[in-house]
Chain A
Amino acid sequence: MELEQLLDFKWSIMTPEFIILGVATLLSILDLFMPKSMDRKILGWIGVAGIAAATVSLAGFIDEPVTSILFDTFRLDSFAKAFKFILLIGSLFVLLLAISFEKKDGLAEFAGEFYYLFLTALLGAMFMASSGDLITLFIGLELLTISSWVLVGVTKRNKKSNESAMKYVINGGISTAITLFGLSYIYGLTGTTNIKDMSGTLMTMGGSQNQLYLLAIAFFMTLVGLSFKLATAPFHMWAPDVYEGAPTPVTAFLSIVSKTAGFVIIVRIFVSIFGSVPATGAQDALPMLLHLQDYIGFLAGATMIIGNVIALRQRNIKRMFAYSSIAHAGYILVAFTSMSYFTFDAIWFYLLAYLFMNVGAFAIIQLVGAKAGSDDISAYAGLYRRAPILAVTFAVLILSLAGIPGTAGFIGKLNIFMGAFATEPAHYVLASILIATSVVSYFYYFGIMTQMFFRPAADDSKFNIPVALLVVLIGSVVGTIALGILPNIAFDFLHDNFMQFKDFLQ
């Protein structure tokens, strides 16, 4: 490649990524030269500033037409932009949680790493959102995954943290292998790794029966492999153990940023590749994605049932939220399955709503867990007596997770239903499972409420809330209620700037 050609690329569209990369590098150097005894919190704040700067620079590109550089491996289309906002805002909140996280179990030694590994993981996720090529996509995925492996095990002296890191590595390795196996079939059939070329080749190929079988194998392998990132069935088993053992900010990261990245990648691959392959030899046949959507639907249904039913039996609140997050991934898969006019809207909005309600919930879990020294649900007994405002805040977030009107979670579910019912034939079974399991989820969500409001408190000690955590709490509650009462804030932003993601396949 000529140097001139290299300089010709419009590198500026990568500004947000460059900022994150730069800040991560800066933090690692600072960490190296700072005296051991110095408090590393300042590094966290620099990281927060970096993410904020990246968000602002991303906002500057909102009106930018679709641009791709590096031979179409990195593209900035409206899909990438919209989801990068979620990734950035999510990471911002998570990093604030990390700043206020108590540094124990050997974490103090690695406090610097603790902050900048979040940034490298975020960088990976952002690359996934922008990738136009399977190689870039895979590198982004690995950057995210490996950073999170380290983060899960970062509290070195904590047995559970070690156990969960081990489980996460093994499960992650297997799932990555399966994903790659699936992707290799598509590569083999098309001879390219560029997503746009792939869909072009597959569309014109016509396809003999054998090729279609191979593609179907690729479809299932990729789907199953990627379900690891989403924590959906059949690769959900790691979630409860890892969520329980990991430090709370990392748990929040896995359930928000990592999950969002998972949906980004799954939409990218499936809509662009399998959305353009005719399912049978005939040119006017249904795309393979629609033809096989019942299988995705089956996984979605299984995920919702598994998540919500097993959550009923959990006493540890982090495990409970692990199953709850499995269930929520199932809800979003319903939107993906229905592939209607509303699908992109629904996925984007739900992920945004989920970001707010979940990060706030984890903030409270972190606070109460640190105070009580345990994540057992009984630690919440009498919270209303001890800290009424905190209890009401948690109640609002829980109501949103349960999908009660007036909160973001409800509007998110409405949007998913709309997609499921607006297609012909409509997805009645799937939507009914969604709503029935939501009612099941009332049991465990209101179980927390029962503890907070009905049970007497074990002790009367008050909480003092660190500034960073307070910012997260206020941000998440305001976000949850604002999106619940005035959801048009988000919808207008989405519709005015991203035009239904029409440029997705351009």
Chain B
Amino acid sequence: MDLSYVLTLLVFFPVLGMVVLAFIPNTQEKTIKLVGFLATLPTLLLSLAVYFHYLAGKSLEDFSVMKHWIQFGGFGEMDKNFFAVHYELGLDGFSMIMVLLTSIIATLAAVASIHIKKEWKGYFMLFLLLEVGMLGVFAAENLILFFIFFEITLIPMFFLIGKWGYFEKERAAYSFLIYNGLGSAVLLIVIMVLFARTGTSNIDVLAQIVNNPDQQMMAPISDTMKFGLLFALLVAFGVKLPIFPLHTWMLRVHVQAPPSIVMLHSGILLKIGAFGLIRFGMGIFPEQFKTLGLLLAILGVINLLYGAFLAFVQKDFKMVLAYSSISHMGIVLIGLGAMNEAGIQGAIFQVVSHGLISALLFFLVSVFYERTDTTLLENLGGIAKGMPIAAGFLLAGAMASLGLPGMSGFVSEFMAFLGLFEEMPWVAAVGAIGIIMTAVYLLRAVLGITFGKSHREFTGITDLRKVEWVPVITLMALIVLIGVYPSVLSEPLKTTLDAIMLGLGG
């Protein structure tokens, strides 16, 4: 059976939703929200189907699609592939998991969008465009296509922050645009250098050509240049991840963007940084990447500690979560820095786990804000009296985030540190302080909210409504599932990891 159309359908289905939305008048709030939500479903179902297809033991290569697209420089008569950019989508274990994660969180964020108060039509059209961009990033098989999808996420985010955000929304939108614009600029330089000098942009082919000195190229790529390119990649994805000190934009976005968008931003968009580092950094420049181990581990520890300490002093719950994201992304870097199987696996686990956890926490933020118009810790104090169930889930989410055994956060942190302790015990020992700090700041914030002194009466506010149960239960279930049965992730990741370890020569 020919399955090559599946990925195209999966990635571009939200576009159909955009078209339908365009014909609905802006006043039909309910219809718009419903259509926006429904438009994310086919993608979710398709990515689940892909996952089960894989579980049934069939190859993911069935889904690969390749069509001739752009031919630069008129070499077409000699060699159809030379300086050609193909439309090629495909999946491996890692990207399949990311696509699945994206479609799940997108659907749940669409549910969270019930809290949006104005201009629903524009909101959902941009939302769906953003989803296309994110799915495409993970499914793209060549660098140019990857970059196109990567940039497609930029534009809807700018508008979603700038129009539907909070008080300083425009500043946050510009900050997002410029930081990420610069990050993409650096990324584009790397991509174009590789493309111009080798004549191909396919990631697998590039990995072969760059590491094989005998290969024919348009122009040579020296070893120094490889280091330069890898470093540029680190900067480009470091903005996205974000790595300290490139993180200021993401604090603004976390605080100013509407929570449903932060679910996507924190859950998926930040992860593109990690995905890119693993896929391109490790995939294309394994030799050079190996030498960066110590640097990455140290950057990771800095991220972990910096985020944790600053999260401790924040007054706004959204800021706590923002710094917590920085801190948790440190664990990804720590895992990558270890350069061994456990570490890298831990890093990927952390990517998925933090995606789920931060989506859950930000969904709860939007639930609280909807009812109380505040996200300040002191104003939220004692909310457990009014909303016991929501507060309960908040506590559970925080437990997952600080790495309680049995939940996904534990598995990833454990593996990442296991990896690092093997390679650089001293760095890991310093990093372990961060784990303790995580528990401290999260408990301070969450206990303050749930059982803290209440400054105001929370009578008359409703607890979780029916529709709000859906995201909360789904996310919680997945967090626990990964916590108790990590094979759901590690099984698909196995081939990817093997390939990476082979490249790293370990």
Contact = CB atoms under 8 A, between A and B. Distances in A.
Interface of A: 341-342, 345, 399, 404-406, 410-411, 414-415, 417-424, 426, 428, 431-432, 435-436, 438-439, 442-443, 446, 449-450, 453-454, 487-488, 491-492, 494-495, 499-500
B35 interface: no
B71 to A, nearest CB: 6
Contacts of A488: 69-71
B162 A454 contact: yes
B72 A415 contact: yes
A419 B162 CA distance: 36
Interface stretch (B188-196, B256-264, B428-436, B472-480): B188-196
A41 to B, nearest CB: 34
| SS of B interface (majority) | helix
B192 A418 contact: yes
B74 A500 contact: yes
A317 to B, nearest CB: 19
B423 to A, nearest CB: 34
Contacts of B151: 404-405, 410
A359 B318 CA distance: 45
Contacts of A438: 185
A500 B188 CA distance: 26
25 contacts: A345-B72, A345-B74, A405-B149, A414-B72, A417-B189, A417-B196, A418-B72, A418-B192, A418-B196, A421-B193, A422-B196, A422-B197, A424-B220, A426-B196, A431-B192, A436-B182, A436-B185, A438-B185, A439-B178, A442-B178, A442-B181, A450-B162, A488-B70, A491-B70, A491-B74
A422 B188 contact: no
Given A424-B219, A438-B185, A414 B177 contact: no
A410 B181 CA distance: 14
B219 A446 contact: no
A421 B219 CA distance: 9
A422 B70 contact: no
Contacts of B152: 405-406
B70 A435 contact: no
Contacts of B189: 417, 428, 431-432, 435
A450 B69 CA distance: 34
Given A406-B148, A418-B73, A422-B196, 5 more contacts: A342-B73, A404-B151, A422-B219, A443-B178, A454-B162
Contacts of A435: 185, 188-189
A443 B171 CA distance: 12
* Main SS at interface, chain A: helix
Contacts of B83: 418
Contacts of A424: 219-220
B369 interface: no
A414 B192 CA distance: 7
Contacts of B62: none
Interface residues of B, number: 37
Contacts of A449: 158-159
A504 B70 CA distance: 25
A331 B144 CA distance: 20
Nearest to B187: A435
Given A424-B220, A439-B185, A454-B162, A404 B155 contact: yes
Nearest to B181: A439
A499 B162 CA distance: 47
Contact of A417 (B74, B163, B192): B192
Interface in B247-273: none
B415 to A, nearest CB: 36
A499 B75 CA distance: 10
A419 B188 CA distance: 14
B147 interface: yes
B169 to A, nearest CB: 8
A82 to B, nearest CB: 13
Nearest to A418: B196
B76 interface: yes
A341 B155 CA distance: 33
Interface string B155-184: 100110011000000100010011001100
B218 interface: yes
B218 A422 contact: yes
Nearest to A492: B71
Contact of B147 (A341, A405, A426): A405
B134 to A, nearest CB: 14
B72 A491 contact: yes
Given A487-B70, A491-B74, A414 B144 contact: yes
Interface centre among B170, B177, B181, B219 (most CB of A within 10 A): B181
Interface in B47-103: 69-74, 76, 83
Q: Which 9 A-B pairs have the closest CB atoms?
A: A421-B196, A495-B74, A405-B148, A417-B192, A422-B196, A435-B185, A439-B181, A405-B151, A418-B196
B72 A342 contact: yes
Contacts of B170: 450, 454
B72 A453 contact: no
Nearest to A345: B73
B163 A453 contact: yes
B154 interface: yes
Nearest to B225: A426
A335 B163 CA distance: 38
B216 to A, nearest CB: 14
Contacts of A418: 72-73, 83, 192, 195-196
Given A414-B144, A442-B181, A423 B219 contact: yes
Interface string B191-226: 011011100000000000000000000111000000
Interface string B128-152: 0000000000000000100111011
A404 B158 CA distance: 13
Could you say which of A421, A431, A449, A499 has the most chain B C-beta atoms within 10 Å of its C-beta? A421
B336 to A, nearest CB: 27
A111 B72 CA distance: 44
Contacts of B76: 495
A417 B188 contact: yes
Contacts of A423: 219
A48 B69 CA distance: 34
Given A411-B70, A421-B193, A495-B71, A439 B148 contact: no
Contacts of A404: 151, 154-155
Contacts of B177: 442, 446
A438 B151 CA distance: 14
Contacts of B155: 399, 404
Contacts of A492: 71
A449 B184 CA distance: 20
B310 to A, nearest CB: 28
Contacts of B147: 405
